[in-house]
Amino acid sequence: MSTVGREVLEMVVQASAEPLLIVHMDHPEWPVVLSNVAFESIGGADIRGKPFADVIEQLVGRDLAVEISESLRSQQETSFPVELGGREYLLALRPLSNGHDATPQFYVAFWRSAGIGAAVAGSEMHHELLKAKRRLRDLTRTDPVTGLLNEQAFFEVLEHDWAVAAREKSSLSVVVFTLLEFDAYVDVFGRHAADSCMRRVAQAVRRCLRRASDVVGRLDGGQMVVLSHASDEVNVREFANRISAGVRELGLHHPRSSVSKFVTVSFQVGVSANAGANVSARDFLRSLLVN
């Protein structure tokens, strides 16, 4: 059987009554490469080439867009109930791979309209099953204190994006945040209060992320690290300064700090203009941790 050409694929996509688009995952921006007329009714036209995370954020909001982005990074089939224009949909996402390559190179996203009867029951059951699988996956990928990606999960994301950026000759930015004199905070208030403090700092960092495709994790040493595809070091430093200010504004009292009466963070910024050219992802991150 001959390979289906792009023109035939586009005809099939356009003929679908369900809003549908295809995303190129083997690219740092996750651009939309195909969409159909049905999608225009919910997402508008002229979205080809736009980052998928941005398209989804405009449709469903930042919080859900972050969750969707994290699911795509895990390379799993998944689905989410969403509401658009007063109508309920089930947003389904499925990985597509070429040949024998196990890593998904594309994802298809389609919006199933909610109806009645067995079809809905089947969709809801399918969604609950996928949600249960996500929860099991998250148990191994999430730091239990902060809710951020744990170190192993963050390294997996970093190494994947590093490899993609190397192929595309694009940039990656990493910012490492360290809570200053946090051992002294633990000595004063105890581990339970320290965990609460760490959780609130993590929430402040997450609120400051600029795009749904940005990723933040907690390292085993307690530091928090943000991965972005930004390329301008000046803008990345401004971004890091905003996060630092956001942590100070939490007003978490730190009686033994020599820096401030509140909990504060320092940060190290690294921007790789040609990721993967001369150093590995892990070595690049380690160089920031020792500074």
Question: Among 61, 72, 90, 76, which residue's Cα sits nearest to residue 29?
Answer: 72
Instruction: Please give the torsion angle defined by the CA atoms of residues 74, 154, 65 and 39, in that order, rounded to the nearest 10 degrees.
Output: -40
Q: What is the pLDDT along the chain (291 residues), one digit of tens a residue?
A: 355 566 776 777 777 888 898 998 877 788 998 888 888 888 877 788 898 988 988 888 887 888 788 778 777 788 888 888 778 888 888 888 765 556 668 889 988 876 544 444 455 555 555 555 555 455 568 898 998 999 988 998 888 888 888 877 888 899 999 999 999 999 999 999 999 999 999 999 998 888 878 899 999 888 999 998 887 889 999 999 999 999 999 999 999 999 899 999 999 999 887 665 677 888 888 888 876
DSSP run (H or E) holding 272: strand 265-272
Does the structural domain 151-289 have CATH classification 3.20.20.140? no
Bridge partners (DSSP) of residue 72 are none
Strand intervals (E) in 156-221: 172-179, 215-218
Instruction: Please give the torsion angle defined by the CA atoms of residues 34, 210, 228 and 77, in that order, rounded to the nearest 10 degrees.
Output: -40
CA distances from 285 to 151, 158, 181, 215, 234 (A): 12, 9, 22, 14, 19
CATH architecture for segment(s) 6-141: 2-Layer Sandwich (3.30)
Lookup: tokens for 224:
């928090």
Residue 95: what pLDDT?
87
> So where are the chain's domains?
6-141, 151-289
**Taking the model in full, what pTM does it have?**
0.72
